[in-house]
């Protein structure tokens, strides 16, 4: 018991870091965000006519993006949501650099009634790691 009293700050840091690690693995599932890896994303694009929504900034997009991806930066998503209405019945694969911004965008789309919105886990970095091509503008 004395050990716990003497080292309560270390234990607090340990518990906090453990909770943050668990949230990073399970947070999106808890929030109801659907996730796909690169293989599943390709299957959605090739077999289910999914569109790819890139939520990065223009400069990031110009440096390399998925072929035929539609660019709507995350900060502009709410004001430009109408541009996606015609895709409401289709799957939408949301992508950013690493999967963090696209996770937020996917949650927003789901809240707006886009039931087939999917976050690409790992984003463009995972896409590149899988050896998949990027188009440069």
* List 45, 52, 84, 96, catalytic entry: 96
**Cβ neighbours of residue 52 under 8 Å, at least 6 residues apart?**
41, 45, 66, 68, 69, 70, 92, 93, 94, 95
With 0-12 CB in 10 A as exposed, 13-18 as middle and 19+ as buried, what is 19?
exposed
Q: For this structure, is 96 an active site residue?
A: yes
Distance (Å, whole) CA 42 – CA 40 = 5
Distance (Å, whole) CA 34 – CA 130 = 20
Q: Quick one: which of 133, 131, 107 has its CA closest to 55? A: 107
Cα Rg, the chain, nearest whole Å: 18
Q: Which residues are catalytically annotated? A: 96
């Amino acid at each position: 018991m004395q050990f716990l009293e003497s080292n309560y700050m270390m234990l607090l840091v340990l518990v906090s870091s453990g909770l943050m690690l668990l949230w990073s693995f399970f947070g999106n599932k808890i929030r109801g965000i659907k996730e796909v890896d690169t293989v599943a994303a390709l299957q959605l694009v090739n077999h289910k006519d999914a569109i790819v929504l890139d939520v990065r900034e223009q400069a990031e997009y110009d440096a390399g993006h998925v072929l035929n991806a539609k660019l709507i930066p995350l900060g502009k998503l709410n004001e430009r949501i109408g541009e996606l209405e015609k895709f409401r019945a289709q799957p939408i694969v949301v992508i950013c650099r690493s999967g963090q911004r696209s996770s937020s965008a996917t949650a927003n789309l789901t809240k707006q009634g886009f039931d087939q919105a999917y976050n690409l886990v790992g984003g463009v970095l995972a896409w590149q790691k899988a050896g998949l091509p990027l188009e440069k503008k």
